[in-house]
Amino acid sequence: AQRVTQPEKLLSVFKGAPVELKCNYSYSGSPELFWYVQYSRQRLQLLLRHISRESIKGFTADLNKGETSFHLKKPFAQEEDSAMYYCALSALQYSSASKIIFGSGTRLSIRP
């Protein structure tokens, strides 16, 4: 079964502290994984995808196939990082565009 698990509903850290949002997945094929973010009063938007291997707004995420994890990390949290973060898995469909399975989300709160 395809599943994405985010064990923390809320993560609260001080400004300047490191951040790690956990994500584990279950998927029988070769996964494509993403992090989506929703800032207050804004739309859900793509933050980063594992195939790009890029850093966006200081965030990085490494796919660990052995541990089936895709944790989101940032070395120094900023107040503007406060938002809802969703880990997501793309399930490829050979005859059509992929569909996405979302985790339940983690609310990140950065304290000043």
Partner 1 sequence: EAGVAQSPRYKIIEKRQSVAFWCNPISGHATLYWYQQILGQGPKLLIQFQNNGVVDDSQLPKDRFSAERLKGVDSTLKIQPAKLEDSAVYLCASSPRTSGYNEQFFGPGTRLTVL
Report if residue 98 touches partner 1, rule: CB under 8 A: yes
Report if residue 105 touches partner 1, rule: CB under 8 A: yes
Least distance to partner 1 from the beta carbon of 16, Å?
A: 29
Please classify residue 71 by burial: count the beta carbons closer than 10 Å to its beta carbon, then call 0-12 exposed, 13-18 middle and 19+ buried: middle
Phi–psi pair at 107, nearest 5 degrees? -90, 120
Least distance to partner 1 from the beta carbon of 43, Å?
A: 5
Query: Do the beta carbons of residue 24 and residue 18 sit within 8 Å?
Result: no
Phi–psi pair at 85, nearest 5 degrees? -115, 130
Q: Which of residues 8-47 bind partner 1 (CB under 8 A)?
A: 9, 32, 43-46
Contact set with partner 1 (CB under 8 A): 4, 6, 9, 32, 43-46, 86, 88, 90, 92-105
